[in-house]
Amino acid sequence: MTDLTNLTLAEARDGLAKGDYTSVELTEAHLKSMEAHRNLNAYITETPEKAIEMAKASDAKRAKGEAGKMEGLPIAIKDLFCTEGVQTTAASHILEGFKPEYESTVTRNLFDNGAVMLGKANLDEFAMGSSNTSSYYGNVINPWKGKDGKDLVPGGSSGGSAAAVAANMALAATGTDTGGSIRQPASYCGIVGLKPTYGRCSRWGIVAFASSLDQAGPMTKTVRDAAIMLGSMAGHDAKDSTSAPMAVPDFEAALTGDIRGMKIGIPKEYRVDGMPEEISKLWDDGVAMLRYAGAEVVDVSLPHTKYALGTYYIVAPAEASSNLARYDGLRYGQRVMDEGDSLDDMYMKSRAAGFGKEVQRRIMIGTYVLSAGYYDAYYNKALKVRRRIYEDFANAFGSVDTILAPTAPSAAFAIGENEGDPVKMYLNDVFTVPASLAGLPGLSLPTGLSSEGLPLGLQLIGKPFDEETVLRVGGVLESAANFTAKPSGLEG
C-alpha cells in the first residue's frame, strides 16, 4: 500500500469514498508520521486518542451514508483556535494549561463536516511573528533544508501548520493570517495557503491578535485541497459581527482550468529595490505561465504599497495591545503573585512572566500609538492610509480580475538569522500585508525553487469575496508550474 500520508486531501477524500482505506487507517498513518517528525516541533499538543476516536466515529458515519465534505480527513489545527476540552495555548506561556469549554466556529464547522483533529499546531506566540521562533513551546523547524543543511524557519505565524502539511504530518491544516501568517509560511514550506476575504470565516473562538485583520484559512498541499477545505471552514456566523452574511460558494467548482481572457494585474510597486534576482525571475515565470494559459497580463499601480508595512505595524499592535489585556492572570492561564501583592503587582508579574519578548514589544508599540497625544499622529493616520491602500486595490480591480505578486521577498532563512533585528523580521511581510490591510483574499502557492533548492511562492490577490477567481487562476498556475519538489530535510 502507498504511504497514505503522501495523499492530497482530495485524493484521500476520494479514496475514503471508494473504500480504499478507512479514516482510522489514514489517521494512524499520520499519527505515525507525527511521531517520526517530532523533531520539527510542528505540534504543541498531539491528540492521538481524540484523533482515533474521531476517525472511528467518522468511519461509522460513512458506513451510515452520512459523509460530510471533510469526512474522515485528518488535519492539524493551529493552536490559536479554541478547541473544546483540548489545551489551547496560542503558543504563549500565559495560556498554558487553558482548556476551553467551547469550540471555535471554524473548527466546529470542520468537525461537523467530518474532519479529524490530529493535534494543535505550533505557531508564533499569539500569532505574532514571521519565523515561528517566538513560540513559548520552542521554534518549529522547516522540513526543507538548504545546501548547508542548517535548520530553517518555517515562516510564521502558522509555521507549525505549514511544516506539518509539508512533512506529511497532516493532510491539511488550519492557519490564521493577520499580515501574512498563512501565505508566508506556505511559501517557505512549499505548500498552498489561502487567506480568505476578511469576514469569510468566523473569528469566534480564535484567540484574537488584531481583530480587524485576523482571518482563518486553509493550508494544504494543493489548490484543490484549499478549495475543499475553505468550503468547510467558511460561512456566516451570527456570533461574529464582522462575519459576512454571504452564502458559501462551491469553491472546488471554480477550478475550471480555464483562465482565457482573464486579466491579471502586475503591481509595479511590488518590484522593490533590492529584490533578489530569483524572486524577480519567479514572478516573471509566473506571468509567462498565465499569459501562456490565455490570460491577459496588465500593469497596475498600487501607489500606497510602500506605506503598508508601517501602517500594519501600527494597526495590528494597537488592536493587539487591547485584545491581550484580558490575559491578566485573573480568570485563566498563568498567574504569578507573591504574598501581599497588590492587584497591579499581580498584573505586572503575570504578564511579564506570561508574555514573550515579541508579544511584549507589540503590546508596548500598540499602547504607545493609542496613547493621548500620539493617537492622531499614529493610529488615526494609519487608518487613513489603510483606507488609501484599500482604494488602490479597488482601483486596480476596476481593470483586472486578480493580482499576481511574490508572496515573500526571500526563501526560508536560518533559525536565529533575523532575531536581533525586528524591523528586518517585519520585512518578511512586505508583500502580504497590503492584502491583509485591504481585507482581500490572497492565495500563495509554490511555483519554483531558490538557488538553495528551497521553495518559493507566488500569491494571487483577489477582489473581496472572489476567492473563486483566485482559486481558478491558482489552479492554472499550479498545473503550469508543476512544483513536485519534496522537502529535502526529511529523514526516511
Partner 1 sequence: MTYVIEGSTGPWEIVVGLEVHCQVISESKLFSGASTKFGNDPNTNVSLVDAAMPGMLPVVNAACVRQAVKTGLGLKAKINKESVFARKNYFYADLPQGYQISQFDKPIVGEGTIILDMPDGSTKAVGIERLHLEQDAGKSMHDQDPKYSHIDLNRSGVALMEIVSMPDIRTPEEAGAYLTKLRAIVRYLGTCDGNMNEGSMRCDANVSVRRPGEPFGTRCEIKNVNSIRFVMQAIEIEAKRQVEVIEGGGEIVQETRLYDQRLGETRSMRSKEMAHDYRYFPDPDLLPLVFDDAFISEIEKELPELPDEKKARFMRENGLSAYDAGVLVAEKEKADYYEVVAKGRDGKLAANWVITNLFGALNKAEVGIADSPVSAENLGKLIDLISDDTISGRIAKDVFEIMIETGGDPEKIVEEKGLKQITDTGAIETAIDEVIAANPDKVEEIRAGKDKMLGWFVGQVMKSTGGKANPGMVNKMLRDKILG
Q: Rule CB under 8 A: say whether 389 interacts with partner 1.
A: no
Q: Which stretch binds partner 1 (CB under 8 A): 57-65, 147-155, 226-234, 313-321?
A: 313-321
Q: What is the DSSP string of 341-382?
A: --HHHHHHHHHHHHS-HHHHHHHHHHHHHHSTTTTIIIIIHH
181 catalytically annotated: yes
Q: Which of 205, 317, 406, 441 lies at the binding interface for partner 1 (CB under 8 A)?
A: 205
Q: State the maximum Cα–Cα separation within the chain, in Å, rounded to a whole number.
A: 73
Q: Rule CB under 8 A: say whether 332 interacts with partner 1.
A: yes
Contact 283, 458 (CB under 8 A): yes
List CB contacts of 378: < 8 A, sequence separation 6 or more.
314, 318, 368, 369, 370
Q: Rule CB under 8 A: say whether 370 interacts with partner 1.
A: yes
Length of the chain: 492
- Name which of 385 and 477 has its Cβ closer to partner 1: 385
- Name which of 102 and 292 has its Cβ closer to partner 1: 102
Q: How far is the CB of 260 from partner 1 (least distance, A)?
A: 39
Q: Which of 70, 210, 229, 430 lies at the binding interface for partner 1 (CB under 8 A)?
A: 210
69 catalytically annotated: no
List CB contacts of 279: < 8 A, sequence separation 6 or more.
406, 409, 410, 456
342 catalytically annotated: no
Q: Rule CB under 8 A: say whether 251 interacts with partner 1.
A: no
**Apex 429 CA angle, 427 and 432, nearest 5:** 145
| Burial (CB count within 10 angstroms: exposed 0-12, middle 13-18, buried 19+), residue 193 | buried
- Point out the catalytic residue in the list 157, 161, 321, 350: 157
3-state SS, residue 39: helix
Q: How far is the CB of 234 from partner 1 (least distance, A)?
A: 17
Give how many residues touch partner 1 by CB under 8 A. 45
Cell numbers describing residue 192: 498552498
Q: Which of 99, 306, 326, 424 lies at the binding interface for partner 1 (CB under 8 A)?
A: 326
Backbone φ and ψ for 193, nearest 5 degrees, come out as -135, 130
Residue 162 CA to residue 191 CA, distance in Å, equals 7
Q: Return the residues of window 100-159 that contact partner 1 according to CB under 8 A.
A: 100-102, 104
Q: Which stretch binds partner 1 (CB under 8 A): 41-49, 58-66, 365-373, 409-417?
A: 365-373
- Point out the catalytic residue in the list 33, 78, 202, 321: 78
**Apex 13 CA angle, 177 and 173, nearest 5:** 20
Q: Rule CB under 8 A: say whether 241 interacts with partner 1.
A: yes
Catalytic residues: 78, 157, 181
Could you list the residues that contact partner 1 (CB under 8 A)? 81-82, 88, 90, 95, 98, 100-102, 104, 203-208, 210-212, 238-242, 318-319, 321-322, 324-328, 330-332, 343-344, 347, 367, 370-372, 375, 379
